[in-house]
Amino acid sequence: MLFLSQTQSEFRQRMRELVAREIAPIAQEIEAQSAFPQAAYEAFAREKLFCLAMPKEYGGRGADATTLALMVETIATASPSAALLVFPSNAVLRTIAITGSREQKKRLFGELKNGDKPLAFCLTEPDYGSDAASIQTKAEPAEGGYALTGSKVFITLGPHARYYLTFARTGPGPKAGGISAFLVDRQAPGLSFGHMEKKMGLHGSITSQMFLDKVFVPVEMRLWGEGEGWRVLADVANPMRVWGAAAMALGTAQGVLQACLRHAAARRLFSQQAVAFALAEMEMQTEACRSLIYRVCGLVDEHAASARQIESMVSMAKCFASDTAMKVADLASTVLGTEMARAEHPVAQLFKVAKGIQIFDGSNQIQRLIIARNLANPEKEKY
């Protein structure tokens, strides 16, 4: 039982209805096919989910972290790949809302307020994933802005976004100090995309290489100052993994549990103690995960903890939720038996999704490093 405001409860109900009506019936197809999920995109665009996080004063819904988590969890319960349509888009929107100047917000939100334009987040490079402070994509001075050159990998949404929040090196500053954040226009000459990654799971989420060959970005499309890209990433973008990756993992665990419950009911397996205990364990783990995620969302929404405390809590939520999804998907074999060995079985797909979430948006090893680093440097304040 979550303590939601009436607006949040109503939103969750609307999301449940939308997902039951338009996503669940095609979820298996989305997860199995390596193709852009056009029908899911159209359903979400109609509901304006691509501008949920846009502030109300600019025509968006001004959704808080709790509302965004409800959206991502509900969609991921049916189709984690479909959740990856709206999660990066809202992460970029929230970043613009926090870091953008009035002019930038007026112009960008004016264009995006129809709620049908996806946005992508571009940090990872061929040789730099966890060590993101060492990225090599360059942003060199050009008249009126910058020329960006380099390559990114594993970019969710690939060529399907309108703008790309791209991190590149502007200055000689060491590691994080020389990084700046830019919004790259999909139409900019010199921007291209490579092949779509053939992933073990999340087939309905497009993931591509991205190439920048002297892509011109006007100075007005830089977020915050030169050399402040790391702050955009660490202080603004990272907290979003609680309503993004963590909520997606929660939805995945819930989807596995629901499939197992249907199977156990159909095969009258509840009387088998091993199966019943496995189901009880799955429910217990999933519910614990839900409690943590929505508590952290509450802290983010209420600004009820320091930046460092939020950082630790967000890392705990991401790590715990994706480990839970993996554990729950593993336990599912106790309930499903050989059914789960079928490649096309939904839970076989979700098993691979859970593994993917442990890796992306900062691997779980990196989340543990963050938690440990903050434990070693405790603050006095309690939350």
> With binding defined as CB under 6 A, does residue 158 bind ligand FAD?
no
Quick note: the x/- pattern for ligand FAD over 219-258, rule CB under 6 A, is ----------------------------------------
Region near ligand FAD per CB under 6 A, out of 59-67, 111-119, 364-372, 374-382: 364-372
> With binding defined as CB under 6 A, does residue 164 bind ligand FAD?
no
Contact 222, 180 (CB under 8 A): yes
Quick note: the x/- pattern for ligand FAD over 29-68, rule CB under 6 A, is ----------------------------------------
Q: Which is nearer to ligand FAD, 278 or 325 (CB)?
A: 325
Contact 371, 319 (CB under 8 A): yes
| Rounded CA separation 60/68 (Å) | 13
Contact 82, 74 (CB under 8 A): no
Neighbours of 351 (CB within 10 A): 22
Nearest-approach distance from CB 90 to ligand FAD, in angstroms: 13
> With binding defined as CB under 6 A, does residue 177 bind ligand FAD?
no
Q: Which residue is nearest to ligand FAD (CB)?
A: 129
Kindly identify the residues of this chain, within the stretch 88-107, that bind ligand FAD according to CB under 6 A.
88
Nearest-approach distance from CB 352 to ligand FAD, in angstroms: 10
Binding site for ligand FAD (CB under 6 A): 88, 121-124, 129-130, 154-156, 199, 202, 207, 356, 359-363, 365-366, 369
